[in-house]
Structures are given as C-alpha cells and as structure tokens.
Amino acid sequence: MAYSPHRLEVDLKMSDGLKIPDKMMAVVLSGIGEENLKLEIVDVPECGDNQLLARVDAVAACASDNKIIDQGSNHPLLYGWDISKYPITIGHEGVITIVKVGKNLRNKYKVGQRFAVQPAVPTKPYNHRERYRDPDKIEKIVVGYTLPGLFSEYVLITEEVINTGCLIPVPDENIPHFAVALAEPIACVIAAQHRIVHVLKDSRTSQRYVEIGPKKGGVTLIIGDGPMGLINADVAMSFGPKKIIVSGHHERRINRIRKALAERSKKFGISLICTLSDNLEKVIEEETGGRGADDVIVAAGKVEAHEEALRYVARRGVVHFFGGLPSSKRFLQLDTHRIHYDEVTIVGSSGSDPSDIATALDMIAKGLIDPRNYVVKCGGLDSAISLIKAVKRRMIDGKGIIYPHVRHPLFDVERWGPEEERNFLKRNLKNKV
C-alpha cells in the first residue's frame, strides 16, 4: 500500500509554524437518543503534564456507538456517568497523530508519531473519578464512552490510555489512515479467532495437542453477512481452511462479500461459498458431505443464529459466539448432547487487547488481510451523524470512514484504497495541524 501520508504537503501535516486552534468540532452526546447527538464547537482540550494531545486522522463508525446513544447514562460501561451533566464525545475506532506532548512524556513521545488506539482500557479511572459510581470497583473504561472519543478533530489521550499500553505505534508509514482506523474491528476478529482451539491427535496412541484458530484444511462457516462477517471471512483465510462458507439474509450483502473476497480466496487456494440463509442447510450438506463445519463463527446478533450454529457444526468442532445478543434476549436453547457426546466446544469473546491491534497492523502491512474491501462510505466530520444513523438502520453493508478535518457529505465507495484516500485529502484539506 504505497502511501506515505505524512509526506503529502496538503495532508494533515506537522509544522512548528502551525498553531493548534483553541476550538474544534466534535460529535457530542448529551442524553439518550439521536436527538441528543450533535456536531458542536467545543474547546480543544488542554494537555496535562502526563497526557498527550492528538489529531484524529480518521475514525470508523461502529454498531456499538448506537448502543451508547440508545442507552445514554444507563449503558453499563458508563458506570453512572451523567452525560446530561457531563456530555461525552463518542467514537472508538481510529488513528491519531500526536500534536502536543506533556512535559513528563517528552522522552517517550514525539510530535508527529502516529498510533492506533486500543479503546477498551483495563484500568480504574484516574480522571473525573467523582463522575463515576464506585470508581474503585471499575476494571475497564473505554475510549468514546467515559474517555474522550474520536469523532472529533483533536482528542486528549489521558493517563489511563498511556499507562496501559493502549496506544499502538503504526509500524509502517505506508499504511493509510483508514486501514489503521480499521485495525480495532479487525483486532476484535483476531482475538475471537485466537480463542478457537482444536484438540488434535496424529494417531490413536499419540498425545493430544492443540492448534489455535479455524481448522487448517477444514471448513469454516460464518453466519452473518454484515461488516464483521466479511472481516471474519478475510481473517479466517490466514489460518488455511479448505473452504469458507458465508451465509446471511441479504442477497446484496452476500454478493458483495463474494465479490470482495473472490480474488483473495483464489490466491490462498480456498473455496469461498456465499449463500443465503434459506439455502444454508443444503449447502452444508453438499460441501461437507453431511459432516458439518469444523468451525462456526456466529457474526450475527440473533438468538436463532446462535441456536442453529450447533446444528451445522461437525463432531469435535468449535462454535464461536462472536455477535453479542441484546440483554433482553441473551438466553437460548442448547442441545447438551452435542456438547457431551459430539464433544463440541462453544467459545466467545468480547473486544481485543493491544497485542491484537499490533497483530492486525502487521497483517495489514504484510497484505495478509485487505481493509480496502471493507469500506463502503466516507465523508467529513459533518457527515458523521448521518453515518452513525445509517449503521443503526442497517443501510450500510461495510464500514464507514470519517475524516475529522474534512467537511464533505457522506458518499458511497466501491473500493477505498490508499490512492483514493490520498486524492480525497488533497482535494479537501487545507493546511492544518
């Protein structure tokens, strides 16, 4: 991905002669519901001695953003924080560049360094402790929830993020902004697939051993045709299954996944089968000889999808509940005979950690996954709310990218790569820090 974003004269360029503004635009949530989500002019944060101020280069919208909007202060990860009194800036999938370094951090960080952000921060809060309910009982706080979010021109990187290693350096300056922003959802998929474990034996008398990830030479089934279904299919290719089957209810999305991954599946020698859910039982029968899939990844937030996963998994296979269920529908029926007699394993995961984001960035740099296939909409910060609403209404088949220092309506893209991003920034950026 030849890009070198720092070296474009019209890009978001570092210069000692450019002054950081006093005001900025940010997407602010001040209550429950979309009517309380607004693009506002706010103060650029002051950078403390042990903090960093960063420019947000790109940020992606996530379905989780809408959970905060719908629940407001009732969201469990806000821990009682009253957003009507203390509004929050949302957004947690992004890439940043340091523009100011607190005096106690100048031996470690430099202006111009670029980072991905691990949003789930495993610590108690350091700042604004009075705004939390029982802060000493908290074990995780999150960027874009009670920590400053990324749908803004600049973001304060606080001690919580810095001290827990949740800033991950971008290893190659040729990785474009949008790809770094997508490292977080990719990392969630990597973390999930690393929890898939197969217990194997080379012969009846040999010792058992384990292999991590979708079974090499096996059949991987992904239930769900949304953006995370696509990313799961892409990441699964790196483990070398013989076949990947993707199913979903939307013909448009299924066709898009088929088209997006056709070249890569051919390159890896993997048979890619994309099918509508109504045909899945027949496809599983034909493609596995009735044996079932070795791995079933449920990338859908429906009880029915979780329950049917156990129908399609092979003996001694693994089911991963990747898509979370709403709290009101979190229980399902389970055939325990499949677990006991067929030795099926069920696993789950939630989020990622900094090592997963580092792995995602490394895979992007090496071409093992291709984020160009994921992006379907782009725009400036003034179109962020429109994008977030489109995600909620399932009007978007992939990921949407917002460039906070640009003002531009949301637009559709067929394939968004380094060249497209570079040209977009050339046309729409002025000289800014």
Both 276 and 297 in one domain: the answer is: yes
Residue 16, pLDDT > 50, answer no
Residue 62, pLDDT > 90, answer yes
In whole numbers, what is the pLDDT of the chain averaged over residues?
93
Report the pLDDT value the prediction gives residue 18, as an integer from 0 to 100.
55
Both 171 and 215 in one domain: the answer is: no
Q: Span 17-46, mean pLDDT? A: 93
Q: Is 10 helix (H, G, I), strand (E, B) or coil?
A: coil
Residue 350, pLDDT > 90, answer no
Q: Which residue, 314, 348, 382, sits at the end of a domain?
A: 348
Q: Which helix (H) or strand (E) holds 341?
A: none
Nearest residue to 39 via CA among 378, 375, 377, 386: 386
CATH number at residue 332: 3.40.50.720
Q: Which residues constitute the domain of residue 423?
A: 5-187+352-428
Both 227 and 255 in one domain: the answer is: yes
Both 153 and 240 in one domain: the answer is: no
Q: Span 144-170, mean pLDDT? A: 98
| Measured distance CA(97)–CA(421) in Å, rounded | 17
Q: What is the pLDDT of residues 139-154, one digit of tens each?
A: 999 999 999 999 999 9
Q: Span 75-84, mean pLDDT? A: 96
Q: What is the pLDDT of residues 214-242, one digit of tens each?
A: 999 999 999 999 999 999 999 999 999 99
Report the pLDDT value the prediction gives residue 430, as an integer from 0 to 100.
63
Q: Which residue, 295, 325, 348, sits at the end of a domain?
A: 348
Report the pLDDT value the prediction gives residue 15, as an integer from 0 to 100.
41
Q: Span 37-46, mean pLDDT? A: 97
Does residue 41 fall inside a structural domain? yes
Both 160 and 218 in one domain: the answer is: no
CATH number at residue 55: 3.90.180.10
Both 151 and 209 in one domain: the answer is: no
Q: Which residue, 315, 332, 348, sits at the end of a domain?
A: 348
Contacts with 109 (C-beta within 8 Å, 6 or more apart), sequence order: 52, 98, 101
Both 35 and 96 in one domain: the answer is: yes
Residue 376, pLDDT > 90, answer yes
Report the pLDDT value the prediction gives residue 1, as an integer from 0 to 100.
45
Percent of the chain with pLDDT over 90: 90
Burial tier of 233 (Cβ tally within 10 Å: 0-12, 13-18, 19+): buried
95 beta partners: 58, 116
Residue 124, number of CB atoms within 10 A of its CB:
15
Does residue 143 fall inside a structural domain? yes
Report the pLDDT value the prediction gives residue 397, as an integer from 0 to 100.
86
Report the pLDDT value the prediction gives residue 325, as an integer from 0 to 100.
83
β strands within 152-301, DSSP E: 154-157, 167-169, 197-200, 209-212, 219-223, 243-248, 271-276, 293-298
| Measured distance CA(400)–CA(87) in Å, rounded | 24
Both 167 and 216 in one domain: the answer is: no
Does residue 83 fall inside a structural domain? yes
Domains held by the chain: number? 2
Q: Span 286-312, mean pLDDT? A: 96
Q: Span 251-275, mean pLDDT? A: 95
Does residue 433 fall inside a structural domain? no
pLDDT band at 14 (very low <50, low <70, confident <90, very high): very low
Does residue 281 fall inside a structural domain? yes
Distances (CA, A) of 44 to 85, 153, 297, 319: 19, 9, 42, 46
Report the pLDDT value the prediction gives residue 378, as an integer from 0 to 100.
98
358: left (phi over 0), alpha (psi -120 to 50) or beta: alpha
Report the pLDDT value the prediction gives residue 326, as an integer from 0 to 100.
80
Both 83 and 67 in one domain: the answer is: yes
Both 84 and 20 in one domain: the answer is: yes
Both 24 and 122 in one domain: the answer is: yes
- Poorest-pLDDT segment among 194-203, 308-317, 322-331: 322-331
Does residue 22 fall inside a structural domain? yes
- Poorest-pLDDT segment among 3-7, 63-67, 83-87: 3-7
Listed in sequence order, the DSSP H helices in 210-332 are: 227-236, 251-268, 280-288, 303-312
Does residue 393 fall inside a structural domain? yes
Both 291 and 303 in one domain: the answer is: yes
Does residue 260 fall inside a structural domain? yes
Burial state string for 176-197 with b = 16 or more CB within 10 A and e = fewer than 16: bbbbbbbbbbbbbbbbbbbbbe
Report the pLDDT value the prediction gives residue 3, as an integer from 0 to 100.
42
Report the pLDDT value the prediction gives residue 432, as an integer from 0 to 100.
54
The pair of structure tokens assigned to 233 is 């299919």
Q: Span 126-144, mean pLDDT? A: 97
